[in-house]
């Protein structure tokens, strides 16, 4: 798999100090008491939902896992269960079982659902990619199939999904040559349907569920790769969509970090704020901070400094969101190191989440608790 990031510089921020200056306690939705130190309870004090990506199949059967999902998080994302290959494995035959189970679980536990994702080049059903490759699905038919997919999926979950990641990862990376509009010409969808498909998919999703928040989701869009080019491309493109009246509500910044590159937390916060100043909401949607480890089973960092860098960068990610009032949720991409996508995707790396391979909370967990506690009561959110 490609490297998500190339380089960046480490910059400390005065974020923690600034947070201490924010006054006044404001009550929020699920009304957790002061003694509840779960992430969700602490986040609720500032109207910030804290989330995780969930493997729907593990809920119920795995008690340790299930208790953490229910107790610590106020929003959940299906890690895979709402992707196209999961919901329509055979053409015209839908299977909503796993996704419905997650939505039910969320309802039972007072959690908001992030829907992920409607248009993405990965995890497409093979009947679709094969049909396109062998010419039996023309581009005109592909557009109709996508229209139907978006409409059917958003309709199925109408009223049950808080935010949709409507379009995922269509912009060129800094090591690729962008189109004039910043999109990746080699992206499956852009290649077949052109840039205009982006706005159309938002329109289709909005028609199917006018109340859901519709997000554009991507990585390296807040300077993580050491340039701000991808941020600028997304910013310009989305501003243009808004000017055309396309119903896009916000930006999902995935937040996949790696300690080997460092992290410019000021750049990140400034970019989130710039999106917010466009009138968009922002969400951190897939946070994890990976580092080199001894092996994929134990995931002990090989560099002794990583045990400090990992929670430090997690903390910077959260504080940037806390300091941008348009940031409505902070989601971690998985519950514990034992079920993270990292070891299988980035050779030699792991240790990316808040809980270790044995489901024990790590320093990153208590660091986020502390960050949330320091900021509790900040009157920043109007729309949890
Ligand atoms: C990953 C899942 O975590 C894995 O289980 C799956 O095998 C591949 O996809 N960006 C995204 C997510 O938007 O959907 C990806 O999730 C991680 C990168």
Structural domains of the chain sorted by starting position, each given as residue range(s) with its CATH number in brackets:
45-375 (3.20.20.80)
Q: List residues near ligand 1 (CB under 6 A).
A: 79-80, 168, 254, 286, 341
Which atom of ligand 1 is nearest to 217's Cα?
Answer: 13
Distance 116 CA to ligand 1 centre (A): 10
Which atom of ligand 1 is nearest to 341's Cα?
Answer: 3
- Which of 51, 55, 164, 286 most suits a substitution to test ligand 1, by most atoms within 8 Å of the C-beta? 286
pLDDT in tens, the chain (384 residues): 344 443 333 333 334 333 333 333 333 333 444 579 999 999 999 999 999 999 999 998 899 999 999 999 999 999 999 999 999 999 999 999 999 999 999 999 999 999 999 999 999 999 999 999 999 999 999 999 999 999 999 999 999 999 999 999 999 999 999 999 999 999 999 999 999 999 999 999 999 999 999 999 999 999 999 999 999 999 999 999 999 999 999 999 999 999 999 899 999 999 999 999 999 999 999 999 999 999 999 999 999 999 999 999 999 999 999 999 999 999 999 999 999 999 999 999 999 999 999 999 999 999 999 999 998 766 665 444
Look at residue 376 in the predicted model and tell me its pLDDT: 79
CA atoms of 155 and 43, how far apart (whole Å)? 30
Look at residue 377 in the predicted model and tell me its pLDDT: 63
Using alpha carbons, list the distances in angstroms from residue 297 to 260, 310, 348, 353: 21, 18, 11, 14
Look at residue 380 in the predicted model and tell me its pLDDT: 61
Distance 373 CA to ligand 1 centre (A): 30
Q: Whose CA is nearest to atom 12 of ligand 1?
A: 79
- Which of 2, 5, 76, 80 most suits a substitution to test ligand 1, by most atoms within 8 Å of the C-beta? 80
Q: Whose CA is nearest to atom 17 of ligand 1?
A: 341
Distance 80 CA to ligand 1 centre (A): 7
Distance 47 CA to ligand 1 centre (A): 27
Distance 79 CA to ligand 1 centre (A): 7
Let me know if 119 is exposed, middle or buried by CB neighbors in 10 A (0-12, 13-18, 19+): buried
Q: How far is CA 285 from the centre of its chain?
A: 2
Q: DSSP readout, 173-222?
A: PTTSPPPTTSB-TTSHHHHHH-TTHHHHHHHHHHHH-TTSEEEEEESS-S
Which atom of ligand 1 is nearest to 219's Cα?
Answer: 10
Active site residues: 169, 286
Q: Are 200 and 150 a contacting pair, CB within 8 Å?
A: no
Q: How far is CA 133 from the centre of its chain?
A: 30
Q: Are 316 and 268 a contacting pair, CB within 8 Å?
A: yes
Q: Are 189 and 197 a contacting pair, CB within 8 Å?
A: yes
- Which of 86, 114, 122 most suits a substitution to test ligand 1, by most atoms within 8 Å of the C-beta? 122
Q: Whose CA is nearest to atom 7 of ligand 1?
A: 341
Q: Whose CA is nearest to atom 15 of ligand 1?
A: 79
CA atoms of 250 and 139, how far apart (whole Å)? 28
Identify which of 264, 192, 202, 210 has the alpha carbon closest to the alpha carbon of residue 237. Answer: 202
Q: Are 327 and 284 a contacting pair, CB within 8 Å?
A: yes
Look at residue 378 in the predicted model and tell me its pLDDT: 60
* Cis amide bond preceding 115, omega within 30: no
Look at residue 262 in the predicted model and tell me its pLDDT: 87
């Amino acid at each position: 798999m490609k490297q998500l990031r190339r380089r960046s510089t480490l910059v400390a921020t005065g974020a923690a100090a600034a947070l201490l200056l924010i006054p006044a306690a404001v009550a929020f939705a699920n009304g957790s008491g002061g003694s509840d130190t779960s992430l969700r309870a602490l986040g609720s004090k500032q109207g910030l939902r804290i989330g995780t990506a969930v493997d729907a199949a593990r809920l119920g059967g795995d008690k340790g896992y299930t208790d953490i999902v229910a107790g610590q998080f106020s929003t959940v994302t299906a890690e895979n269960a709402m992707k196209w290959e999961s919901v329509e494995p055979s053409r015209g035959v839908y299977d909503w079982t796993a996704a419905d189970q997650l939505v039910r679980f969320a309802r039972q536990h007072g959690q908001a659902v992030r829907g992920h994702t409607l248009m993405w080049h990965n995890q497409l059903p093979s009947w679709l990619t094969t049909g396109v490759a062998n010419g039996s699905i023309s581009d005109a038919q592909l557009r109709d199939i996508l229209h139907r997919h978006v409409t059917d999926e958003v309709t199925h979950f109408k009223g049950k999904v808080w935010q949709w990641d409507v379009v995922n990862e269509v912009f060129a990376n800094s090591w690729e040559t962008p189109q004039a509009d910043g999109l990746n010409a080699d992206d499956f969808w852009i290649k077949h349907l052109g840039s205009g498909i982006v706005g159309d998919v938002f329109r289709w999703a909005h028609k199917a569920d006018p109340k859901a928040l519709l997000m554009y989701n991507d990585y390296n869009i807040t300077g993580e790769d050491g340039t701000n080019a991808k941020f600028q491309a997304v910013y310009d493109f989305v501003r243009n969509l808004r000017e055309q009246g396309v119903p896009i509500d916000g930006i999902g910044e995935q937040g996949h970090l790696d300690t080997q590159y460092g992290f410019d937390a000021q750049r990140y916060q400034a970019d989130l704020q710039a999106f917010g100043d466009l009138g968009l909401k922002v969400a951190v949607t897939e946070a994890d901070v990976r580092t080199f480890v001894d092996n994929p089973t134990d995931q002990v960092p090989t560099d002794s400094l990583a045990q400090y860098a990992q929670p430090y960068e997690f903390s910077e990610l959260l504080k940037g969101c806390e300091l941008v009032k348009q940031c409505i949720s902070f989601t971690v991409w998985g519950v514990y190191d034992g079920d993270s996508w990292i070891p299988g995707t980035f050779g030699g790396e792991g240790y990316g989440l808040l809980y270790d391979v044995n489901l024990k909370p790590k320093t990153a967990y208590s660091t986020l608790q502390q960050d949330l506690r320091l900021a509790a009561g900040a009157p920043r959110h109007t729309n949890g």
